Structures are given as C-alpha cells and as structure tokens.
Amino acid sequence: MAERLAAPVLLVVGVSGCGKSTLGARLASALNWRFQEGDALHPPANIAKMAAGQPLGDADRQPWLAAVAAWIDGRRATGEAGVVTCSALKRAYRTLLCGGRPEVRTVFLSGSRELIAGRLAARPEHFMPASLLASQFSALEPPDREEGALIVDAAMDVDDQVAWVIRVLSL
C-alpha cells in the first residue's frame, strides 16, 4: 500500500478581528483547499462566555484547541490540504497545534491595537465583543523567529495578503 503524501495545512492565527477568517477563506478559495472557521469549533460554553464579555482562560481553550488539532489531523489522515483559523495567542497553543505536524505552516496576522479595535467596532453582530480586545493583546505571545511563522501585515489589502502568502510559501 502506498504511503499517503502529507498535504499542507495553513494555520492562520492572530487576535480577534485581525482578519483571520477573511484571509483563511480567501487562501482556501485561491488554493482550492478545504477551509475551517476555527470559531465554529468552540464549545457553546466558550461562545457564551465571550459573548458575556468574559475572556477565556487556558482551561476554557483546551477543548477548542483539541477540536482544531483534530481537524488538522483529519486533513493529515486523508491527505487533504486545508486552511484553519484559530487565535492561538500563546506559543504553547501553537506548539500543541503544530508540534509533530511538519506539514502545518503558521500564518500570523499582525496588526496594531488601533487597526484591530476599528475592525471589532465594525462587526457588532460577532460574539466576540470589542471590550475583550485588551485581554487578547495581553495574552498574545507573537511568534518568534524560532517558530518559523509567516508574519503578515493585517493592514495589507486581502488580495495582496493572499498573493504574498502563496508566493512566499510556494503554494
């Protein structure tokens, strides 16, 4: 039996409102890969907690991160390329999602508080209120050189972001 070739998976990370969902969906569309909105993998209790203006703690995030990891492993098992979004604010979270998974590449959307605050204010229907932005930046441990994440400027035009990621990662 022939061994299945590992298909790439892009993990698009960053604080809420940075543009993960937009970039992830557009990358998946451009590459004809499967897309998973990471927020859809949150347990209902997490959504309710955030909607009530309460930040998630590490224990709250564990079942969500496990669901994201399971989605990634599903792609790996089938050899199907994919793109998944997840804030993955801390290095430990990214290690959990990428460790032992060499086909996973992290794309980190980096943006100023002012840019992100403006975006959050423009999406009042989202369960994640703008009042939690400070907690997002407080928890954020931006990827360092050792992690090998591709750093993307959240202020760039989305078409330019997509083209740049595809070009830099040779996809």
Query: Quick check: is 1 in a domain?
Result: no
Is the Cα dihedral 60, 66, 69, 75 positive or negative? Answer: negative
Q: Which amino acid is at 75?
A: R
CATH code for the domain of 151: 3.40.50.300
For residue 65, give its domain range: 9-168
Query: Quick check: is 3 in a domain?
Result: no
* Residue 124: per-residue pLDDT: 62
Measured between alpha carbons, how far is 20 from 24 in angstroms, rounded to an integer? 6
Mean pLDDT lowest among 2-6, 55-59, 145-149: 2-6
Residue appearing with tokens 């202020």: 155
Is the Cα dihedral 7, 154, 149, 49 positive or negative? Answer: negative
| Domain count of the fold of the chain | 1
Query: Quick check: is 4 in a domain?
Result: no
Q: Is the pLDDT of residue 123 over 80?
A: no
Query: Quick check: is 151 in a domain?
Result: yes
Taking only the tens place, the pLDDT of each residue in 56-105 is 889 999 999 999 999 999 999 999 999 999 999 999 999 999 999 999 99
Whether the pTM exceeds 0.85: the reply is yes
Residue 49's region, left for phi above 0, alpha for psi from -120 to 50, else beta, is alpha
* Residue 1: per-residue pLDDT: 40
Q: Is the pLDDT of residue 3 over 50?
A: no
Query: Quick check: is 142 in a domain?
Result: yes
